[in-house]
Amino acid sequence: MLLVKIGFVDKNKEKFYITTPLYYVNDVPHIGSAYTTIACDCIARYKRLRGFDVCFLTGTDEHGQKIFKSAKAQNKSPQEHCDFITGEFQKLWKLLNIEYDKFSRTTSTKHTHLVQEFFKRVYDNGDIYEGEYTGLYCEACEDFKSEKELLEGNLCPVHKQRAQDYEEKNYFFALSKYQDKLIQFLSSTPDFIQPEFRKNEVMGWIKEGLKDFPISRRSVSWGIPIPNHSGQTIYVWFDALLGYISGLIDDSNEPTIAEGIKSYWPASIHVIGKDILRFHAVYWPCMLMSASLPLPKKVFGHGFLTKDGEKMGKTTGNVIDPYELINTYSTDAIRFFFMREITFGKDGDYTKENFLNRVNSDLANNLGNLLNRTLNLVNKNFNGEINGDPSKDLLQLKSKFDSTINLYSKHMDNLEIKEALDSLWQLIDSTNKAFNDIAPWKLLKSGDIETTKCCLYETLIILRNISILTYPFIPETSVKIYKQLGYDKLDKYSEWERLGFNSLGKNIKVTVGSPVFPRLENKT
Ligand SMILES: [Zn+2]
């Protein structure tokens, strides 16, 4: 079987624009937002390695009644509150080693300009009209609810709080007009909604009939004013989604839609939690159609996290505090656990036991020990330097190695993050097994230097590739491994080109440092 490595791409041609949701700043960041952002960062790092011209955007959604109330409760102005919480998000992303390119804030001046321009576009297209809304509204969701969607006593199924009667003279967006167009779009773009099983949910909503919805508020002061109409602000979702475009504009440039869409728009993928699927898979494409703007290529709705099998909630105290996890363990351990343990797209559970087991067995034992044993042998017996011939294939892992790289890339391109890591760890397991079977320490004793060298050389080749392939997930550890293997710098934009079962290069001298991933202890 001939395998051709999935290759490096030409960054002049291939752009990749990925977004997290713009996180709502009513409260400090929680583990759910961290999970989404880590996943996006891993995908973005993988694409950069592959050579894509990547833009990774995250940010904050800062308008609406809930934020106004949160600010008031703390005796802050809404803007002070937004600045503070946004700062908390940025701090956490730094601690989690998130390498975003753009941070979009919906209270920025450029965003306000852009939203108002967008409103005018849609208005001029005849899709905004004045009307009167009577119905139910969940303030926590910032969303309108039909009685059918609510639980007994009009409780919101997500927030378990009562949806309020809502009656206002508003501007409406003519969503219903786009029903057929949206169905057409979804059937001609079958992978727009991912994972596949979320599509049925969306098709269900559409079949029930899309209803026009109010996009202005009389009662909400903390929002973007409707152009030329005093006293009303724009509905938070009709505002926030535009942050994916406004966030692309450099502050020195004209804050116009044309400027926003000229470099990276349309998004290659919006990664979101499943709870905001309707806004991204129904409202957003219709809004863009109305404004004659290109639609994003993909919306990926991931699942929710639970702790010890239970839903997390502030009131029950059953939460995972991301800061506590980072302080107790390490950033790479956290990044690794959530990506390795949970099928991306499905719900996933965190228990401390699983966390420690997973991280210790995969990182400290399987990868860490293989690395340490190899480096020690090379260092002690060959003064850190070793030559060899990769074509010998003593370990008989070359074909497994080639198929792993292909499988890994295929999975990453399909956003099957866990499966990509599975394939990588199968290679690590096989390498450990082959290494143990050949037992170079025994060969040394028996004086078979050539076979020993060959075994160590091939193991170093595999480790070198593994350090590159783990870079998107555990960047700090990966770079440490790369250095211990004798290379000065892992080039995060082009290292993919050097993947392969090939020579280690000239004058490469390994160094034995401290273990790159010490075993984690159970701390409480
Ligand atoms: Zn709700």
Q: How many domains does the chain have?
A: 1
Q: How remote is the CA of residue 217 from the centroid of ligand 1, in Å?
A: 18
Facing residues of 331 across strands? none
Q: Is residue 39 part of a domain?
A: no
Q: How remote is the CA of residue 483 from the centroid of ligand 1, in Å?
A: 49
* 158-182 per-position pLDDT tens digit: 888 899 888 888 899 999 999 999 9
How far apart are the C-alpha atoms of 158 and 351, rounded to whole Å?
Answer: 23
Residue 5 has pLDDT above 70, yes or no: no
- CA 212, 216, 218, 222 torsion: positive or negative? positive
* Percent of the chain clearing pLDDT 70 (strictly above): 98
Q: Is residue 231 part of a domain?
A: no
Scan for tokens 């998107």, then name that residue. 472
Q: How remote is the CA of residue 64 from the centroid of ligand 1, in Å?
A: 14
Residue 524 has pLDDT above 70, yes or no: no
Q: Taking ligand 1, which is a single-atom ion, which protein residues have CB atoms under 5 Å away?
A: 138, 140-141, 156, 158-159
Residue 12 has pLDDT above 80, yes or no: no
Residue 416 has pLDDT above 80, yes or no: yes
107's tokens: 């209270």
Q: How remote is the CA of residue 382 from the centroid of ligand 1, in Å?
A: 65
Give the three-state DSSP class for 335: helix
Q: How remote is the CA of residue 153 from the centroid of ligand 1, in Å?
A: 13
32's tokens: 């759910």
Q: How remote is the CA of residue 359 from the centroid of ligand 1, in Å?
A: 36
Tell me the average pLDDT of the chain: 94
The one-letter code for the residue type at 25 is V
Q: How remote is the CA of residue 230 from the centroid of ligand 1, in Å?
A: 29
- Helix %, strand %, coil % for the chain, to 5? 50, 15, 35
458's tokens: 């091939």
In the prediction, which pLDDT does 2 show?
43
Q: Is residue 452 part of a domain?
A: yes
Q: How remote is the CA of residue 27 from the centroid of ligand 1, in Å?
A: 16
In the prediction, which pLDDT does 510 show?
94
Q: Is residue 150 part of a domain?
A: no
The one-letter code for the residue type at 40 is C
| Cis before 190? omega within 30 | no
Confidence class of residue 125 from pLDDT cuts 50, 70 and 90? very high
Looking at residues 402-409, what average pLDDT do you find? 96
Distances from the Cα of 184 to the Cα of 188, 295, 301, 377, 465, angstroms: 6, 13, 21, 62, 44
Q: How remote is the CA of residue 150 from the centroid of ligand 1, in Å?
A: 9
Q: How remote is the CA of residue 192 from the centroid of ligand 1, in Å?
A: 26
Q: Is residue 334 part of a domain?
A: no
Q: How remote is the CA of residue 138 from the centroid of ligand 1, in Å?
A: 5
Facing residues of 53 across strands? 15
Q: How remote is the CA of residue 166 from the centroid of ligand 1, in Å?
A: 14
Q: Is residue 400 part of a domain?
A: yes
Confidence class of residue 230 from pLDDT cuts 50, 70 and 90? confident
Q: How remote is the CA of residue 145 from the centroid of ligand 1, in Å?
A: 9
Domain of residue 481, residue span: 353-498
Q: How remote is the CA of residue 35 from the centroid of ligand 1, in Å?
A: 21
Residue 483 has pLDDT above 90, yes or no: yes
* Percent of the chain clearing pLDDT 90 (strictly above): 81
Distances from the Cα of 269 to the Cα of 361, 458, 508, 523, angstroms: 33, 38, 40, 38
Q: How remote is the CA of residue 72 from the centroid of ligand 1, in Å?
A: 21
* 454-481 per-position pLDDT tens digit: 999 999 999 999 999 999 999 999 999 9
How far apart are the C-alpha atoms of 346 and 417, rounded to whole Å?
Answer: 12
In the prediction, which pLDDT does 158 show?
82
How far apart are the C-alpha atoms of 74 and 519, rounded to whole Å?
Answer: 42
Q: Is residue 101 part of a domain?
A: no
Q: How remote is the CA of residue 184 from the centroid of ligand 1, in Å?
A: 30
Q: How remote is the CA of residue 158 from the centroid of ligand 1, in Å?
A: 5
Q: How remote is the CA of residue 155 from the centroid of ligand 1, in Å?
A: 8
DSSP 460-483: HHHHHHHHHHTTTT-HHHHHHHHH
The number of angstroms, rounded, from the C-alpha of 287 to the middle of its chain's C-alpha atoms is 24
Q: Is residue 436 part of a domain?
A: yes
How far apart are the C-alpha atoms of 68 and 106, rounded to whole Å?
Answer: 14
Q: How remote is the CA of residue 295 from the centroid of ligand 1, in Å?
A: 27
* 306-339 per-position pLDDT tens digit: 999 999 887 778 889 999 999 999 999 999 999 9
Confidence class of residue 3 from pLDDT cuts 50, 70 and 90? very low
CATH number at residue 383: 1.10.730.10
Confidence class of residue 372 from pLDDT cuts 50, 70 and 90? very high
* 334-368 per-position pLDDT tens digit: 999 999 999 999 999 999 999 999 999 999 999 99
Query: Which range (11-15, 285-289, 408-412, 467-471) has the least confidence?
Result: 11-15
